[in-house]
A and B are shown apart, each in its own frame.
Chain A
């Protein structure tokens, strides 16, 4: 079955330091991968996606993610974290072709310390 895993529960990082949120995937065929962010009591906001092409994908708010086929990973990165980046981050993979259903990872709470 198509799935993603986010191994960490919480990521703590000092403001200004690089931020990395990890995601690994398990799919048959080519993966369609996504990152979303959720602020408290809000829906999810789309950050970026990998469908095909360059392995380094740039998204919203200065985030980027690197698709690594050999390691089956799609880690989210930001060179310099802001306090406002503190939120819940979800990695997702497309699990059906017809209607593009997504399967989400468990989520990672990111805490950026001032």
Chain B
């Protein structure tokens, strides 16, 4: 069973509000991924880190999304100004090896 911890499990925000969610990877896993799973169950990769460094990220052209993985602190994903279309399950995964990714329980964001 995955030991990735995500908080909060549920997040409700109004349009235009900030939404911040956190992820603690499995102990010893240096790589962290963020994915968005929409109501149609479709996955969208957002960003990944190895330790504190960004490995890959989508073109967050709207610049409303930001993420970081500081040392000795949980990783975080923040939406600066939430929109209704951001309502989704945000999944954090961590990886020890170069392949397997293990998902946390997710943060379900609802933007009213």
Asked if A and B are interacting partners, one says no
* Chain A interfacial positions (CB closer than 8 Å to B): none
Binding site for A on B (CB under 8 A): none
